[in-house]
Amino acid sequence: MHGWTGKILNVDLTSGRIWRSNIPEHFLHEYLGGRGLGVRLMRGAYRLDTFDPDMPLIFAVGPLCGTQAPTAARLAVVSRSPLTGTIYDCSAGGRFAWRLKGAGIDALRIIGRSATPTVLSITGETAELLPAGDLWGKRVKETVSLLSGRGSVAAIGPAGENGVLFANIMMGEGNSVGRGGLGAVMGAKGLKAIAVDADARTPLADPARFEHARADVMRLFRASPVIFGELGIAEFGTPALVDLMRQRRMAPTENFRKTVFAASDNYSGPAIKRDFQAKKDGCYGCPIQCKKKHPTRRASSRIRDGLAFRRTERHCRSGGHCPVEHALQRAGDGYDLGCRYPGRMGRGDWAFPRSRGAVPPAGSDRLSPGRR
Ligand code: SF4
């Protein structure tokens, strides 16, 4: 078999047992990609309580991950959401998925609950659980920094540790498993972080046909105005969709009471590029690079000075860490953030009224509170 490795890494945090097993081959034929495989591996567990130690937390990748196929370096994380009670899957970019595949596995299935905080470290074909008492309570950035040298990291912050129902799992490169509260599932298992460092290649059955198919996909991408067009997401990231949605009268405005938001050009792709000088970034090997890198120091100071998006004390009384401001300093955020805050709240700026108690805790999903 090519593409799939046919292997799953199982980790029981209660007993500390780690073992590899074969994935039934028909799963790989019948279910599409990492999401399909991850959801299939949930069968038999979906009636468990979200925080039951036996509830699996699954990280899965697809057969094209690890190849040069565009947009294939995506990670699917699947479990039962503590927020919605449904089986939930989140997709994250970065390099974690590529490295997981490089470790020779299609999926990582974690069950059990560790008695003390722990980190799962995967290096090539080996995996071990490390004590993480000194990491518990730390924010994601510090956790990732302390695990540097162990490859790509997926970690939770205080939100996941404390069972916040919209807690994220954050990827070390800044991507997030950001909806549905799967960070709280990881926290309930006592698992602070997973680090993976491996680089085995995904074998191709027919490299010439693969290259032909890849070239076809790239041609179609280039023909798409939304992807590689002058105002497309390769240039402006997903905020490129702001103008498209406005033009089609589909912008979720004032919590969906309206569909056109007159001030949306304040957070359109061109506006963010103009005000924050965002640079291209993206998932491993993806030619689109729809994410945007941290802006320059000058852009950050423009936010502080209230020049960009007209932040004022009247609008934001946080006096400190404001998640929207922070998000904009990263300027890697996309269409959703723009719609959730200015658009949905019907405000023409990025103000965020902390006084309403809506500031998300560290390591949580910034989009969930973005509603009135
Ligand atoms: S860079 Fe953007 S388009 Fe490419 S895989 Fe990542 S999220 Fe998808």
Q: DSSP label at 173?
A: T
CATH classification at residue 119: 3.60.9.10
Average pLDDT, the chain: 83
Q: Give me the torsion for CA of 80, 84, 87, 88, rounded to 10°.
A: -90
Pocket test for ligand 1, best of 67, 227, 228, 286 (most atoms within 8 A of CB): 286
Span 336-346, mean pLDDT? 61
Find residue 58's DSSP bridge partners.
78, 109
Span 274-297, mean pLDDT? 77
Both tokens of residue 17?
């047992």
The answer, yes or no, to whether any atom of ligand 1 lies below 6 A from the CB of 291, is yes
Predicted pLDDT at 214: 96
Alpha carbons 90 and 72: distance in angstroms, whole number: 15
The answer, yes or no, to whether any atom of ligand 1 lies below 6 A from the CB of 187, is no
Look up the pTM and report it.
Answer: 0.84
Within this chain, do residues 177 and 53 fall inside the same structural domain, yes or no?
Answer: yes
The answer, yes or no, to whether any atom of ligand 1 lies below 6 A from the CB of 238, is no
pLDDT digits (tens, 9 = 90+) for 37-73: 999 999 999 899 999 999 999 999 999 999 999 999 9
Within this chain, do residues 270 and 180 fall inside the same structural domain, yes or no?
Answer: no
Phi/psi zone of residue 198: left (φ > 0), alpha (ψ -120 to 50 degrees), beta?
Answer: beta
Pocket test for ligand 1, best of 288, 289, 335, 336 (most atoms within 8 A of CB): 288
Output 254 or 293, whichever has higher pLDDT: 254
Q: What residue owns the CA closest to ligand 1's atom 2?
A: 290
Predicted pLDDT at 76: 97
Within this chain, do residues 241 and 284 fall inside the same structural domain, yes or no?
Answer: yes
The answer, yes or no, to whether any atom of ligand 1 lies below 6 A from the CB of 282, is yes
Work out how many domains the chain is built from and give that number: 2
Domain presence at residue 159: yes
Domain presence at residue 367: no
Q: How far is the CA of 254 from the centre of ligand 1 (A)?
A: 29
Q: Which ligand 1 atom sits closest to the C-alpha of 289?
A: 1
Within this chain, do residues 43 and 188 fall inside the same structural domain, yes or no?
Answer: yes
Within this chain, do residues 245 and 284 fall inside the same structural domain, yes or no?
Answer: yes
| Locus of tokens 């990280």 | 59
Domain presence at residue 48: yes
Predicted pLDDT at 91: 93
Predicted pLDDT at 4: 94
Alpha carbons 66 and 284: distance in angstroms, whole number: 9
Within this chain, do residues 237 and 187 fall inside the same structural domain, yes or no?
Answer: no
Q: What residue owns the CA closest to ligand 1's atom 6?
A: 283
Within this chain, do residues 13 and 124 fall inside the same structural domain, yes or no?
Answer: yes
Is the confidence at residue 244, as pLDDT, over 60? yes
Number of neighbouring beta carbons within 10 Å of residue 231: 14
Predicted pLDDT at 324: 44
Q: How far is the CA of 139 from the centre of ligand 1 (A)?
A: 26
Predicted pLDDT at 182: 97
User: What range defines the domain where residue 131 resides?
Assistant: 7-197
Alpha carbons 163 and 182: distance in angstroms, whole number: 10
The answer, yes or no, to whether any atom of ligand 1 lies below 6 A from the CB of 68, is no
Q: How far is the CA of 45 from the centre of ligand 1 (A)?
A: 31
Q: What residue owns the CA closest to ligand 1's atom 8?
A: 71
Alpha carbons 8 and 16: distance in angstroms, whole number: 16
Q: Which of 29-38, 185-194, 195-204, 304-313 has the lowest mean pLDDT?
A: 304-313
The answer, yes or no, to whether any atom of ligand 1 lies below 6 A from the CB of 82, is no
Predicted pLDDT at 328: 47
Q: How far is the CA of 83 from the centre of ligand 1 (A)?
A: 26
**Of 197, 232, 266, which residue sits at a domain end?**
197
Within this chain, do residues 237 and 142 fall inside the same structural domain, yes or no?
Answer: no
Helix (H) or strand (E) holding 210: helix 207-223
DSSP secondary structure string for all residues of 22-37: EPPHHHHHHS-HHHHH
Pocket test for ligand 1, best of 65, 291, 293, 335 (most atoms within 8 A of CB): 291
Output 363 or 193, whichever has higher pLDDT: 193
Q: How far is the CA of 282 from the centre of ligand 1 (A)?
A: 6
Q: How far is the CA of 314 from the centre of ligand 1 (A)?
A: 37
Domain presence at residue 346: yes
Domain presence at residue 368: no
Q: How far is the CA of 205 from the centre of ligand 1 (A)?
A: 25
Name the pLDDT band for 239 (thresholds 50, 70, 90).
Answer: confident
Phi, psi of 298 (to 5 degrees): -60, -40
Output 72 or 266, whichever has higher pLDDT: 72
pLDDT digits (tens, 9 = 90+) for 201-231: 899 999 999 999 999 999 999 999 999 999 9
| Locus of tokens 């994380």 | 77
Domain presence at residue 208: no
Predicted pLDDT at 327: 46
Name the pLDDT band for 111 (thresholds 50, 70, 90).
Answer: very high
Residue 139 exposed, middle or buried by CB count within 10 Å (0-12, 13-18, 19+): middle
Domain presence at residue 2: no
